Each structure stands twice: as C-alpha cells, then as structure tokens.
Amino acid sequence: MTTWKSIKLPLGDKSYLQDVYVFVFKKDDGFIMLDAGLNTNESFNALLAGLKDLGYELRKLKKLIISHYHLDHCGLAVRLQKLTSAPVYLHENDRKILLFFKEHIEGYPEKVKDFYCSYGVPENIMKNIASELYGYKALLLGPTETVHINDGDIFEIEDGYLRVVHTPGHTPGHISLFYPEKKIFFGADFLLPDEWPHGGIYPHTAGYNPIGDYLKSLEKVKALEPEIIIPSHKEPIYDPVKRIEESILFMKKKIEEIYDILKKKGHLSLAQICDMAFKVYDSSLSYFFLLSVGLGYMRYMIEEGLAEEVRDNKFILFRAK
C-alpha cells in the first residue's frame, strides 16, 4: 500500500459537513493516525471498518496526532487512548481549551449565552443557541492527557517523515502535517476548497486574535509551496497557492467592508455588524458560528487600530477609529 491513506468517518446530524477524514500513515509494524473523528459508536465502527479494509488492526496504532480540539477531530481520542495505550499528541494551546471544557462543561451553554449577549446579541436568539448546545456537551470533551507538539516536530513514517506546522487561526493550537518528499500538506481545517477561513472567538478563546493568526498562517503555508493540500473535509486543493491567495484577499476585503460599515453607521453591536457584513445563515448554530467569526474580525480590527469597543449601559458596541 502507499504510505498514507484516508478513512471517511460520519458526523451524522452534528455537522453540516456530514463527514470527516482521518489519515493513516504506515510506520514500521503499525501506523500513525491524524485525527480521531466524532465520539459516537457510528464513527468508531466506521474507523474499525476502514482500518480493516486497509489491513490494519487498531492495536497497531503507534501514535495519534490531533490537529485541533474541535469535536469532529478529537472525539474518539480518549477511547482510542484507552484501547491502545498509544500516546495522543496535541498542541498545548488547544489542550488548555479542552481543560476549560472539562471544568466548565455543565454551564458552558449559559456561558456562551452571557458572552454574546454582552455584545448586544438579542437574548432570545442566544437562548435558542444555548438550548441547542446542551445537546453537544458530551461531545465537546476531548483528550487532556496528551503529549505537546511544537512547530517543526518530526514524525517518522515508512517513506520519509511528516513535519508539524503550527497553523493557528481556526483554533489557537491548530496544527497541520507537511510531507516534504511529496510536497503534500495535510491541512485538517486550515483551508477548505469551497469555504473561506473560519476563525472565531468564543468564551474559551475570549482574548484570542484568530484573524491575525490566520493571515500569518496562510502566508507561512504559502511559503512552503505545497503541491496539494489535503483537508479533513471535502476534496483536495490542487492549486494551493491560488486558494491561499484567494483566502487572504477575501479576508482583507471583509475587513475593509466591516470598516466601511462602521464608518457609515457609527456605534454597532456584534449582531448588527454580522447581519450587515455576513448576512447568510440557516440555523441557530450557523448564526452562532457567524457571531464568533464576526467577533474574530472585530478583535483583529481593534488590535490593528481600525476600530474600538464602546461600552454603553448594557452592551459592548463597536465603532471605527
């Protein structure tokens, strides 16, 4: 078999993306795996079936690398850890988030509601979002007994090695794997073929600047000159540099658009900014993600001196500088 293969795992009704790929890399008498899918029996059984089709036994898992803390990527990690004793590798920035979930999971939906309400999002909308989040609580938990990985770390595989590339933006600890011999970049959620980069702010990343990190990560990966990016969702990206440049341009234009809105409209709430600058959403949870992205753009603009927060009696508002 080739050095690497992918296994498609189902996400059921927990994501509009429907499925996620995990990646298996041949090593000595076993394999290394990138990501672990959703923590459901359906996903676990699909993983076992996929490994069997590739000629692997689960007990041969040598190392499990987690690209980031999101539930569709780290979900089965604890189960696999218990079954195989394989070490789980995760960037410390994302491990801290999983520790936060472990401590605050019971009240997390309420934290989300209060957090976005403080930015002027209507309470009735946030109550609906919080209600939906209660159905995800158990799935948010992930591995906390992990080995920290750093940018530049190396994982040996049968035909060369994989180099860790810290690509923050989608999450603070998001990592990708670069296979230099083949110029293949396993990007996880770093970049998708038909969606723009998603870097948001939540209660557990309240001080983060995802857009600033994302722009730096895009330039960093562009400099590697990969010939193909293999994402964890959807199809490979066969012209990576073009897609990266398109994404940078989109993000910069979105910053200009938000700035123009603030200049014309004056003091605005987060909800008002999102309704004017992003517009499209089809469910409570998609609006939740939209709010997180909108707040990510506002954090970037504040740190770049383009906008500032203004506090009235109830809410945090934004205005152009």
CA distance 321 to 314: 22
Q: Which pTM was predicted?
A: 0.95
Kindly indicate the confidence band of residue 315, based on its pLDDT and cuts at 50, 70 and 90. Answer: very high
Find how far residue 238's CA is from the centre of its chain.
21
Residue ranges and CATH numbers for the domains of the chain are 4-320 (3.60.15.10)
Average pLDDT of the chain, as a whole number: 94
Q: What is the per-residue pLDDT for 134?
A: 86
Provide CB contacts within 8 A for 176, sequence distance 6+. 67, 164, 165, 167, 185, 186, 187, 188, 190, 221
For the cut 90, the answer to whether the pLDDT of residue 80 exceeds it is yes
For the cut 60, the answer to whether the pLDDT of residue 1 exceeds it is no
CA atoms within 13 A on the CB side of 298: 30
